[in-house]
Every structure is written in C-alpha cells, then in structure tokens.
Amino acid sequence: MHASLLLHFEDEAASAARIAAAAGIACAAIERHRFPDGELKLRLPATLPPQVALLRSLVQPNEKLVELLLAARTARTLGATQLTLVAPYLAYMRQDIAFTPGEAVSQRIVGRFLAELFDAVITVDPHLHRVTTLEEAVPVPRTVVLSGAPLLADLIARLRPDALLVGPDEESAQWVAQAAAQHGFEHAVCHKVRHGDRHVEVALPAVPVQGRAVVLLDDVASSGHTLAQAARGLLAAGARSVDVAVTHALFAGDAGQLLFDAGIRHVWSTDCIAHPSNAVSMAASLAGALR
C-alpha cells in the first residue's frame, strides 16, 4: 500500500506533515474555495504520481464526503492510478442494519461510496458492531485497520501504572482487552442499556473498585453520557480516581464539560481527531501502513 505523495486539506496540514515525515514521502495541500452559494471548488497539484494517498479524518463528515468525491475523481485525471484513503476516523460505521422499516443503512451506503473512489483504506478503530471486518463495510481491494488501544495502554502504564481498565459498555470489550494485554492490566466491562442518544443506564462490573485508580477506555467518546454515567457509578463505589482514554475524541456539544462534572480527572485521546485532549500520536502507525 505504498504511496509517494500524501494529499491533505489545509485544516489537517499538521497531521499530514507528521505522517508524511514518518513515512518518508512528500505531502501537498488541496486548495479549497467555497462559493457564495455554498458549493466547493478544489484544486489539486497539476500532476500526480501513480500512487497517491489522501488524508481525511471524517469527523463532521457530510461535507467531507463531497470533498472526497471531488478530490478522488480529479486525482484520477491527473495521473493517480492507485488511490489510498487515510481516514484515521471513519464515519457512518455504526448504522449497519435497519432497526425500523425505511431506515437507511448508512454503513453500507457510505462504504460502497468510498469503495467506488479508492483502491485501499487505512483507518483506526472503526466502530463496527455486527459487521466484523472493514472489508465488509468498505469493499475495497485492500484495507488496514490500526488501533489506538496499545498506544493508549503505554500512556496509561506511565501515568497510572496500577490502573484498573474498565470498558463503559460491552462494545468496548475488544479495545479494553487489547490495552490490558499490552501491560497486564486488570480489566472489566460495564453493562449498558441505551434508551436514546443521551439517556443510558450503566451497570458496573462485579469487580472491587474501592481505592482503585480506574481508567475508562473506549474507541470513541461522542455525547459523553455513557462515560459520565460509568464514572459517577465508579466514584460512588469508592474508586480513588477515574480518568478516560479514547481513540476518537468526538466530544459533541458539551460532552467535555459533562465528563468533568461527573468527576473524571483527565481525558486522554489519540490525534485521529484533533482535540485538546490529544496525548498520543498515530502518525508513526499510519506511516507504517503507507510504507
């Protein structure tokens, strides 16, 4: 999945520079202009090498999907024959079935849309449920799935060497187990019942937390309600402290404040999504995938 040039948009210039430097390749910006009516005009380098990667982390994804459509189609006309999408955060992965009649299954639709544009996809901790492999969700010839869990585990081992790792729900079990294995952390998982986007009930695992430094670990923090609910329960049960480590720091709306109001001391995240909580860089891992 080698690429000799990494294209990026201006708002991700710093991330692109880190990845390109680690991969030993050049990077170039895509110029972006918005017309008064809201339409976009993009300008890529006038000529491109055959193997090109395009960096776009798909947080707030709707307009970015249009950018990918315009950029990928244009890149093909400028010399690119093999296009790799580097999407540290890959959106629209959670909706993999229709829960009620008439619902759009967005994972299937967006996945096939991306597969029509790119030959390969590199991403980090995609939020997959009933679909177990990225190839099922995004049917491209080649995929690479990286994880932030081991690097977050390294950070936790330095800052909270005696930590108890806890997943806020059953879906987090895979990441918690991966992080725990990295350093032999004791770990457990909560049980969640969701009643809506912002209404959840969390049952604590049957492990003693009295006096423990607990780190809640998950792939993504969005509304923050599940993490906040788990933190309040853990502190009420006698935990010495509760911190949060996540791969993807979405933190929609007031999620950050919600976490701190729940008694969480620190939030650590990877740089897959730019956020003040970023404490771990995925640049070397992403560069390795490109090499």
- 143-180 pLDDT, tens per residue? 999 999 999 999 999 999 999 999 988 888 889 999 99
Q: How many helices (H) and strands (E) does the chain have?
A: 9, 15
Phi and psi, residue 85, nearest 5°: -90, 125
**3-state DSSP call for residue 80?**
coil
Same domain, 203 and 243: yes
**Cβ neighbours of residue 104 under 8 Å, at least 6 residues apart?**
95, 98
Q: How many CB atoms lie within 10 A of CB 238?
A: 11
* Residue of 3 and 210 predicted with greater confidence: 210
Q: Would you place residue 197 in the very low, low, confident or very high pLDDT band (cuts 50, 70, 90)?
A: low
Is 64 part of the annotated catalytic residue set?
no
Q: Position of tokens 């079935």?
A: 97
Nearest residue to 122 (alpha-carbon basis) of 16, 1, 270 = 1
Does residue 25 form part of some domain? yes
- Specify the length of the chain in residues: 291
CATH number, domain containing residue 196: 3.40.50.2020
Same domain, 20 and 132: yes
Per-residue pLDDT, 204: 86
Instruction: Flag whether pLDDT at 194 surpasses 70.
Output: no
**Cβ neighbours of residue 80 under 8 Å, at least 6 residues apart?**
48, 49, 50, 51, 52
Same domain, 141 and 157: no
Same domain, 188 and 266: yes
- Give the residue numbers spanning the domain of 211: 149-271
Task: Give dist(CA 65, CA 232) in Å, integer.
Answer: 37
pLDDT digits (tens, 9 = 90+) for 42-83: 999 999 999 999 999 999 999 999 999 999 999 999 999 999
Q: Position of tokens 């771990």?
A: 280
Same domain, 174 and 236: yes
Catalytic residue among 187, 192, 212, 225: 192
pLDDT digits (tens, 9 = 90+) for 82-95: 999 999 999 999 88
Alpha helices in 104-212 (DSSP H): 106-117, 134-137, 149-159, 173-183
Beta bridge partners of 122: 86, 144
Mean pLDDT of the chain: 93
Give the count of domains, the chain.
Answer: 2
Does residue 276 form part of some domain? no
Task: Give dist(CA 130, CA 132) in Å, integer.
Answer: 6
Per-residue pLDDT, 157: 97
Phi and psi, residue 204, nearest 5°: -70, 155
Instruction: Flag whether pLDDT at 96 surpasses 60.
Output: yes
